């Protein structure tokens, strides 16, 4: 089976940097993804890491260490609109994607 752990809530100040960590245990692993979900909305894809290292997409970066079963999402220059839930997700066999519980990020002025 697969299980993921991430913090349930994080609060950060507008303009700051925040890191959301994710650790996972999985029987099959192809990659780690991150999704953003605003209240009342649908999850939307942010980034994907299959190999160790950092992937950067604008203000968002994602990191993966396969040997540590660990990854993180880094959000820079936080904006109020970044307030949302962020889910890490593991892709395993049969294209099965298992999501973490989500981290609710609150950006304050």
Partner 1 sequence: DTAVSQTPKYLVTQMGNDKSIKCEQNLGHDTMYWYKQDSKKFLKIMFSYNNKELIINETVPNRFSPKSPDKAHLNLHINSLELGDSAVYFCASSQEIKAKNIQYFGAGTRLSVL
Decide whether 65 or 104 has the Cβ nearer to partner 1.
104
Enumerate residues 6+ apart whose C-beta is below 8 A from 36. 43, 44, 46, 84, 85, 86, 87
**Residue 96 Cβ vs partner 1, minimum distance, rounded to whole Å:** 5
Q: What's the CA gap between 80 and 35, in Å, rounded?
A: 17
Residues in the chain: 109
**Residue 107 Cβ vs partner 1, minimum distance, rounded to whole Å:** 18
Decide whether 78 or 90 has the Cβ nearer to partner 1.
90
* DSSP three-state, residue 54: strand
**Residue 37 Cβ vs partner 1, minimum distance, rounded to whole Å:** 8
**Residue 19 Cβ vs partner 1, minimum distance, rounded to whole Å:** 20
Question: Where on the chain is the footprint of partner 1 (CB under 8 A)?
Answer: 30-31, 33, 35, 37, 41-45, 48, 50, 85, 87, 89, 91, 94-99, 101-102, 104
Enumerate residues 6+ apart whose C-beta is below 8 A from 55. 47, 48, 49, 61, 62, 63
């Amino acid at each position: 089976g697969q299980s993921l752990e991430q913090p349930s809530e994080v609060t950060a100040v507008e303009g700051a940097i925040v890191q959301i960590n994710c650790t996972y245990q999985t029987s099959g692993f192809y990659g780690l993804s991150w999704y953003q979900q605003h209240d009342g909305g649908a999850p939307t894809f942010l980034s994907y890491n299959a190999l160790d290292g950092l992937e950067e997409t604008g203000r968002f970066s994602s990191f993966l260490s396969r040997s540590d079963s660990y990854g993180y999402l880094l959000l820079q220059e936080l904006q109020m609109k970044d307030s949302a839930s962020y889910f890490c997700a593991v892709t395993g066999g049969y294209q099965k994607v298992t999501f973490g519980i989500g981290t609710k990020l609150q950006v304050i002025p």
